[in-house]
Structure 1
Amino acid sequence: MLKASLEYLHPQGDHSFLLRSFGPEAFDAPYHFHTAYELTYITGGRGKRYIGSHQDNFGPGDLVLIGPDIPHCWKLEPTDSSDAGAIVVHFSEDTLGPTLLAKTEMEAVTKFLERAKIGIYFTAPISDQIGKRLDSLARETEFYRFTGLLEVLQQLSDDVTCTVFSQQDTVAIQPRASQQRISPVFAYLVENYRSKVSLEEAASLAHMTPQAFCKYFKKTTRKTFMETVMEYRINYAAQQLIQTEKPVSDISFQSGFSDVSFFYRTFKRKMKLSPLNYRRRFMLH
């Protein structure tokens, strides 16, 4: 049964956090979660990132911090895989220690980490600055790597241009029991929304009847199950319209729609523009 898998993270020796660089293989990771904070800087490659129920495009310079237990994954576009890479930091509140976090000097960082529990997205110039700093930290000794992490967190906490993911768009604010029930459903959506999606299969992943599942899903996400499926498909189609020159009909089928006319109507209702006009708007910029 498909589900959001738990990843176990073990810093080497007595190290307090993990700092690693990854190539294209890292983007094959399934929709998963862990008990650590994760700071991810994308060095190359483009695709879709999925955090809780939130989805968005990513590319070089993308910087995201997410809190513990939030299911997530990054999926590459096949045409953008050769130079794909990321620098990833995993740390916990134990990394800093409750005594240190309680100090006045750490007040901004402590509040920042609380905000980050549902996810925060950063853009240039701060994302590029942090990306360069993370790259340099890999060559530091253990002590300066640790103090460098503190500097990075302080710098991020000072950024006023960051975007906190909407609580409405994430499963992170759900109680643990509800997270365990809804996460397999989003794992199923992430892997299957571009093909055939079955309400019955999604309901079975949540151990519910289809009728009970529909009520539960809307109460939890404030959207119906099919609204969420269509949102995933339309967002993927929008990405393809901007980043490729594929015919609209091909994009329609590759996004999970079996009827081009229905795709046109759904896209226009969601994006307020037809697929062709949406593409033309971005070609002008």
Structure 2
Amino acid sequence: MKLNVRYEHDIPVNAFRWTPKSYKEPLHYHASLEIGCCLSGRGTFYFGGKSFTAAPGDVFIVNNSELHIAESDPESPCEFVFVNFDPGLWQKEDEMLLLPFCYPSGEFLNHVPADSPLAKELEPLILRIWTELRDKPDGYRSMVKGLLLQLGASVLRRQAGLVSERRLTVQRSAFRELRTLLAYVEERFAEPLDLKDLAGRLGVSPSRASRAFREATGRGFAEYVRQLRLNEAKRQLVVTDKPITDVIFDSGFQSVPSFYRLFAASEGLSPADYRYALAPVAISENPER
């Protein structure tokens, strides 16, 4: 089951306290990344076919494509603080921070035991992000971004120290190839794009390119391109006074009705109402309002 994450702040980061149910709920996944720590109690964390005991101080790292869920011990329910964020925050600063999240499920290290040096390093960063987003002191956005970068760098160094140099070299090479593909998509998303043609650029089969795309982004190719186009449409609605039909086609969409359905499902508003809410000056000059 896929969960659609909506961010509660004007930066794509959520932080929340969570007590799992005392029974195993259906596993889910989401396109965002998560890192969290157990504060109290006991339980079990499931990642696909893997499971780990959760105890105070344990840190859990959640990939963006791996099914997961936690379950509390009925006698001592566990409580977590989790940070959930858009991987684009790391990609813009240092794309290598995403390397640990590109390992397949069997090799991905989800559990960081409480007594490890890394857990002791990550837990205060997680808690600080949570308090910054809760209290919103001056400069909290910059502080949260900086703390997230520290989280990413720590996890990257840990992964590099736990796999062979040969395996790390192979993974880095594959990662760079995929990032080249993503950069190409992000540059040309407003144009017609075909996965088969893009796979040819990597010299792999379309099925392999599709799997690699999902492993890296947590989304299928078509969904990823739709989201890029939707983000661009939202940007243009706010910062330009173009007619809405021009925004639709300039963002890469080919059908006005399908765009309206997608936009309403994503934002809960029509494009005109979205523009009016966020850019009242521009909307006053727009003939489509």
- The TM-score, its normalising length taken from structure 2, stands at 0.47
Q: Which has the higher contact order (CA 8 A, sep 6+)?
A: 1
